[in-house]
Amino acid sequence: METLAEAEERELIAPESRQMLEGVLRMAELSAGDVMVAAPRMDLLDIHASVDELLGAVIDTGHSRFPVYDGQRDNIIGILLAKDLLKLQRAPELNLRALLRPAVFVPESKGLNELLRDFRSNRNHLAIVIDEFGNTAGLITIEDVLEEIVGEIEDEFDVGHSDAGIYTLADGSFRVAGDATIGAVNEAFGLTLPDQDFDTIGGMVAHEHGRVPRRGESVDLAGLRFAVMINRGGAVRWFKVIRVPATEADDSSG
């Protein structure tokens, strides 16, 4: 990383190139469990759902691929491509099971480099992540893996707090580093969070949640919603932060 920083300082590579190269190097240290969407946040389809219900889920989420379960959510029986639902619309006599693609299962410990190679060679861009007991821990897509390389430089237009690890994104939300100091977060968002017990916002959010939240999980704190974008080394690397609407905050508190 230091060599890349020196290369950028000497204008041998652009800042964007440095960030992407650093992302490639970081991938060697990450596993599927670090960046997966946690099981409670997975959008699943029930094999027994009606065509209208399936179409509604596709429209509501905008996903192109869905794990399908039978009975319990942990019982994943295959993957449905959204485009294949058109076949079911045109020919209702078709069995939904016949449209399912085989589900690929990978352990939480599978390295991202190896997983990316598998995604590219198998042309299968979604995998179900299982824990050491064989239970569904989450899911991961090729987009999740590639975001480790390019995701951190997408959609940013204001880096006024970049030194503090706080960025404004194009959609009006914020990207906040897990190791951003409480003081920096207070300054950026006009808050008065106490900084006696915690040095970083990641530590405070983990305390509020009862544990370190995983990718896809979110925690509301002081009128802000901290959604985990990336975990690394047992801690949150990046949060996506939005302001919680007052009405929603009132509902959750009352």
The residue type of 163 is D
Query: Does 190 share its domain with 83?
Result: no
| pLDDT greater than 70 at residue 245 | yes
The CA distance from 108 to 140, in Å, is 10
> Diameter of the chain by CA atoms?
65
Last residue of a domain, one of 121, 149, 177: 149
Query: Does 180 share its domain with 99?
Result: no
Query: Does 42 share its domain with 116?
Result: yes
Q: Which range of residues forms the domain containing residue 230?
A: 155-253
Query: Does 124 share its domain with 176?
Result: no
Query: Does 68 share its domain with 128?
Result: yes
Give the CATH number of the domain where residue 137 resides: 3.10.580.10
Query: Does 7 share its domain with 84?
Result: no
| Closest by Cα among 122, 133, 127, 134 to 111 | 127
Last residue of a domain, one of 112, 133, 149: 149
Q: What's the pLDDT at 160?
A: 47
| Tokens coding 45 | 């389809």
| pLDDT greater than 70 at residue 238 | yes
Span 74-129, pLDDT tens digits: 999 999 998 898 888 788 778 889 999 999 999 999 999 899 999 989 888 899 99
Query: Does 96 share its domain with 161?
Result: no
Last residue of a domain, one of 102, 121, 149: 149
DSSP codes joined into one string, the chain: -HHHHHHHHTTSS-HHHHHHHHHHHHHTT-BHHHHSEEGGG---EETT--HHHHHHHHHHH--SEEEEESSSTT-EEEEEEGGGHHHHHH-TTS-HHHHPBPPPEEETT-BHHHHHHHHHHHT--EEEEE-TTS-EEEEEEHHHHHHHHHGGGSSEEEEEEGGGTEEEETTS-EEEETT-BHHHHHHHHT-----SS-SBHHHHHHHHHTSPPPTT-EEEETTEEEEEEEEETTEEEEEEEEEPPHHHHHHHH-
Query: Does 137 share its domain with 182?
Result: no
Span 122-174, pLDDT tens digits: 888 899 999 999 999 999 988 888 877 665 434 333 344 556 788 887 677 88
Give pTM, 2 decimals: 0.58
The CA distance from 108 to 119, in Å, is 16
Q: How many domains does the chain have?
A: 3
Span 10-35, pLDDT tens digits: 777 666 666 666 666 767 778 898 88
Query: Does 111 share its domain with 188?
Result: no
* Beta bridge mates, 239: 176, 228
Query: Does 109 share its domain with 137?
Result: yes
Q: What is the mean pLDDT of the chain?
A: 83
Query: Does 50 share its domain with 119?
Result: yes
The residue type of 7 is A
Q: What's the pLDDT at 128?
A: 96
Phi, psi (rounded to 5 degrees) for 236: -80, 125
Best-predicted range by mean pLDDT (57-61, 151-155, 191-195): 191-195
Q: What's the pLDDT at 19?
A: 63
Give the CATH number of the domain where residue 219 resides: 3.30.465.10
Query: Does 46 share its domain with 138?
Result: yes
